[in-house]
Structure 1
């Protein structure tokens, strides 16, 4: 005879864990407190969230994000450390994780195609580094960019990209497109042979393209570009990090247009 307290259905974590296992293959992993915080702030649909120490996570919210504390209190289920470790590929120091519904491709395409556009779209042409891609998405969200588009094989919603982006995928539009599917607007591509960016005013509807960390711009994107621009750089320095290049370019746009950010 099975004792009542051994019934799995009596475990308050069992239903959320069932939800996790059912959705893990189709949802976005939010790994760590900051990823969950930003996803909540920017309206992500989060069906399940777990933490090793629920009280500690809520205390962190009290300190860093009191605006979402009550929402987190309604979401979080406490689980054992071993259970948490089995749910995530790389445990985060805050020991909290969640699953969020990925925005539909149709919704992303609609947002990217909407005109008039008041902020640029950032294009990463064949990026290779997942962490760099996440850092760029975090930058784009901070500057209020319309979105980040990647070309090539990298999935911009990969868990490592979302982790590096601190969940700010939900604060902008993120999608993977072919070069011939890029949003409309004047395309400015960053290239060492381009004109000095300091002499150019970037319009609000610009499409700002950046080549991969090693190969630079693809021939397809270079052929599509309306303007080639270069960033100021000391002679004999090879290049800037991709996220640094994006930050410099978005800052140049924001100061030239009088953006309030």
Structure 2
């Protein structure tokens, strides 16, 4: 497979003057937005922005059609980032927001974030020893499923999510499905032959029942595409083939469901898994 195409610069240029004035001047904020839109990650909605801020994303500009409502939502659901949102959010008209974001989120909040550098993500994925697995999506096709998997991986504290094939894991639809949690884990696309090191456990209907298998913290967990399953090349390279329990005559699980079941199985056998904090209702 050819290398993934080069991405735009990871750190868009935004002059300090523009950044400061944009916080109090809606037109300045819109100019900053237009200057950065082609090279930045769209955070679509309050929850995506909230998660990005929690995981130290660089957010040069954030807009809302109802600043009071957005801050009230922060008071209710995310008081930990309320001050950051207060300093960042700029109110613009609903029409202007729709001009910049054709389908605004129901929370009427949108922001642009700086995409982490590919080099930084690859370093995080390659670092050993690992305390949590890497999830590999082998040539996924559904953008929404990929986003849901990234959200799951972040929730379980996985080291990262790697995709092979043509799907861009930072596509706006994937980011929307991930609710801003791309910034909580390392997300990259690589060639199939350049996966992170570690024992490769591939999910396959003919594999050993996962309930009898211990998944180590440094595991690389590979899942096939929604239609065709694992590629022959990746399947042949697997150190272990494992399967999920499934009732006879049921053909398959949704991709995100399969990842969730596998990560949960890993988490039940390790003391380094997810914490015990329960997110607020509707979070």
**TM-score surpassing 0.5?**
yes
Aligned twin of 1:158:
171
Q: Does 1:222 align with 2:235?
A: yes
Distance 2:37 2:273 in 1: 39
Aligned twin of 2:6:
none
Aligned twin of 2:44:
31
Q: 2:188 aligns with which of 175, 198, 203?
A: 175
Q: Is the 8 A contact 2:132 2:272 kept in 1?
A: no
Runs of 5+ consecutive residues of structure 2 not aligned to the other structure: 1-21, 275-283
Aligned twin of 2:55:
42
Larger radius of gyration: 1
Distance 2:197 2:94 in 1: 48
C-alpha distance after superposition, 1:174-225 (max 9, x if no partner): 0001111100000000010111101100000000000000010011211221
Secondary structure at 1:162 match in 2 = helix
Distance 1:104 1:121 in 2: 18
Aligned twin of 2:29:
16
C-alpha distance after superposition, 1:131-178 (max 9, x if no partner): 110110000000000000000111101111111111000000100011
* CA RMSD across the alignment: 1.2
Normalised by the size of structure 2, how large is the TM-score?
0.87
Distance 1:183 1:36 in 2: 29
C-alpha distance after superposition, 1:27-47 (max 9, x if no partner): 000000100000000000000
Normalised by the size of structure 1, how large is the TM-score?
0.95
Aligned twin of 1:193:
206
Distance 2:164 2:109 in 1: 31
Distance 1:260 1:251 in 2: 9
Q: Is the 8 A contact 2:63 2:109 kept in 1?
A: yes
